[in-house]
Amino acid sequence: MMTSRRRSIFGVVSIAVSVMAGAGLPALAQAQGSAEPLKLGMLVAMTGANAQSGFNAVVGVGMAVKEINAKGGILGRQIRIIQGDDHSDPTSAVNDARRLTSREKVDFIVGPAVSQLTLATLPVFTESKTPSISMSGSMAVTPQAGPYHFSFLPSAESQAQAIALYIDTVLHVKSAAVIHDAGAQTRSTVEVLKGELRNRKIELITDQEYDPTATDMTPQLLPMRRSNPDVLLALTANGTDTGYVIKGLNDLNWNVKVVGNISVIIQPGVVTKVAGPDAFKNVVALNYKALTYCTGDPVGGSDVAKFKTRLQAEVGDKYPQYSPLVLGYFYDMTHAIAAAIAGAKSVDGAAVAAWMEQNAGSIKVMNANMSASKTSHFLIGSSALTMAENADKPRADGMQKRSGC
Instruction: Report pLDDT digits (tens) over 236-279.
Output: 988 999 999 999 999 999 999 999 999 999 889 999 999 999 99
Average pLDDT over residues 38-46: 97
33 pLDDT band, cuts 50/70/90, is: very low
CATH number of the domain at 8-154+310-381, please? 3.40.50.2300
Please tell me the distance from the alpha carbon of residue 219 to that of residue 404, in angstroms, as a whole number: 33
Fold observed for domain 156-296+386-402 = Rossmann fold (3.40.50)
110-157 pLDDT per residue, tens: 999 999 999 999 999 999 999 999 999 888 999 999 999 999 988 888
pLDDT value of residue 291: 86
pLDDT value of residue 29: 40
pLDDT value of residue 212: 81
Domain ranges of the chain: 8-154+310-381, 156-296+386-402
pLDDT value of residue 215: 95
pLDDT value of residue 10: 40
pLDDT value of residue 325: 83
Tell me the three-class secondary structure of the chain, residue by residue.
Answer: CCCCCCCHHHHHHHHHHHHHHHCCHHHHHHHCCCCCCEEEEEEECCCCCCHHHHHHHHHHHHHHHHHHHHCCCECCECEEEEEEECCCCHHHHHHHHHHHHHHCCCCEEECCCCHHHHHHHHHHHHHHCCCEEECCCCCCCCCCCCCCEEECCCCHHHHHHHHHHHHHHCCCCCEEEEEEECCHHHHHHHHHHHHHHHHCCCEEEEEEEECCCCCCCHHHHHHHHHHCCCEEEEECCCHHHHHHHHHHHHHCCCCCEEEECHHHCCCHHHHHHHHCCCCCCCEEEEEEHHHEECCCCCCCCCHHHHHHHHHHHHHHHHHHHCCHHHHHHHHHHHHHHHHHHHHHCCCCHHHHHHHHHHHHHHCCCCCCCCCCCCCCCECCCHHHEEEEECCCCCCCCCCEEECCC
CATH topology match: 8-154+310-381 vs 156-296+386-402 = yes
283-318 pLDDT per residue, tens: 999 998 988 999 989 888 888 888 989 999 999 999
Q: Taking a C-beta distance cutoff of 8 angstroms, is the pair 55, 6 a contact? A: no
Average pLDDT over residues 201-205: 97
Q: Taking a C-beta distance cutoff of 8 angstroms, is the pair 20, 66 a contact? A: yes
